[in-house]
Structure 1
Amino acid sequence: MNRKLVGIREAAEYLGVTPSTLRRWERDGKLFPDERTAGGYRRYDLARLRPDLFPRSVAARKTIAYARVSSHDQRDDLERQKQVLELYCARQGWTFEVVADLGSGMNYHKKGLKRLLNDILADRVGRLVVTHQDRLLRVGAELVFAICEAKQVEVVILNQGEDTTFEEELAQDVREIITVFSARLYGSRSRKNQKLLDGVKRAIEEASS
């Protein structure tokens, strides 16, 4: 019986997944290549691969492109994020939908983020695309990525460098934290606390101006 051996990309396309998924399956002991070339390249026998054994492939689940900004003043940046994500996903030939949030990177209760996490946990997402890591959360993005790995969701981060809005949004997030604590400290009617908070607010405004 003749065998048709193909490389990892063609095998991945046949199964409706990505090459990185095949590599992960090999590490997890789920699926091994039939041969390796002298150069170490994987070769798979198409006759042995059965797509029905992998029903929850990336192709069977949706691609979500997630965008976020902290405040209404950044709506233009939100639109730019969405355009970048849409263009990238379209160029890859992916069927996708964009989920956008307007809220602090410290807020875990944003409508879009909750919807995204619910879909990931329900195995409805096969790929997550963001422009920068901190678009998901300022603190805690690594936890979301860990959930994605456990659910075999491919994560695509378009820009690994520093986000151009980092300082501005960080200042906004700090203001939000101060506002929460202000309500508590002002309630104690301590003039010392009020002076401390006023000083911190001024420092934040000067640093972000």
Structure 2
Amino acid sequence: MNRLISIGELAELKAVSVDTIRRWEKEGKLESVRTDGGHRRYRLSDFVEQKIGKTIAYARVSSHDQKADLDRQDAVLSGYCQSFNWEYEVIRDLGSGMNYRKKGLTKLISTILDGEVARLVITHKDRLLRFGSELIFSLCEYHEVEVVILNKKEDATFEEDLASDVLEIITVFSARLYGSRSSKNKKLIQKLAESVQSG
């Protein structure tokens, strides 16, 4: 826990830019130590101290056939939280990244609003929502909930998830337009599914 981390690692941990870390240090909000070569290093323990409240680790996949990925996210998040001896709970969610009414997401928001959360840990930004995750981050900032994003890069399955989300939107609207059981609706959905798979 006393290990030193680079400015880039700290920026990733705090989900800000390297320039922001430099500005915070200039403003006296944090301190660094210098290596023999003159590089900035930061004590990890200064930034992962125990806070009042629990850590929520949030994992999500879009469909039932992605259960293996959900289990993988759970394992990664659990391992990360355990490495810091945090009291944590993993919320597992199933549903589109464009669905704001998922059971797990609703529970997460309620728990944050109740003031019970000290920290939110996710593997990727878009695990919360495909569009609008900034709203959750703003909510976390207001309630002084630390957000830890383990991987800043896009998911390898981004295109697949996005295609699935688009298909879901079209399915809902075509069902409203033609009726969910109409043959016209079923043919349209089938053609769209084939296009997504071939694309």
Deviation at 1:180, TM superposition (A): 0.4
CA distance in 2, matches of 1:60, 1:153: 10
What amino acid is the match of 2:54?
Answer: K
Q: Does 1:71 align with 2:63?
A: yes
CA distance in 2, matches of 1:125, 1:147: 11
SS in 2 for 1:76: helix
Q: Does 1:161 align with 2:153?
A: yes
| Equivalent residues of 1:105, 1:134 under 8 A apart | yes
In structure 2, the residue matched to 1:121 is 113
Larger RCO of the pair (alpha carbons < 8 Å, separation 6+) = 2
Unaligned runs of at least 5 residues, structure 2: 1-13, 15-19, 34-39, 41-48
What amino acid is the match of 2:137?
Answer: F
CA distance in 2, matches of 1:164, 1:196: 28
* Superposition pairs of residues 1-209 of structure 1, within 5 angstroms: 59-187=51-179, 200-207=192-199
Deviation at 1:167, TM superposition (A): 1.6
CA distance in 2, matches of 1:153, 1:117: 12
Deviation at 1:172, TM superposition (A): 1.4
SS in 2 for 1:60: coil
CA distance in 1, matches of 2:79, 2:126: 20
Of all paired residues, the percent bearing the same amino acid is: 57
Unaligned runs of at least 5 residues, structure 1: 1-19, 42-56
Residues 135-173 of structure 1: CA distance to partner in whole angstroms, max 9, x if unpaired? Answer: 011111111001111111000000000101212211211
Larger radius of gyration: 1
TM-score when normalising by structure 2: 0.70
Aligned residues: CA RMSD: 3.4
CA distance in 2, matches of 1:192, 1:96: 48
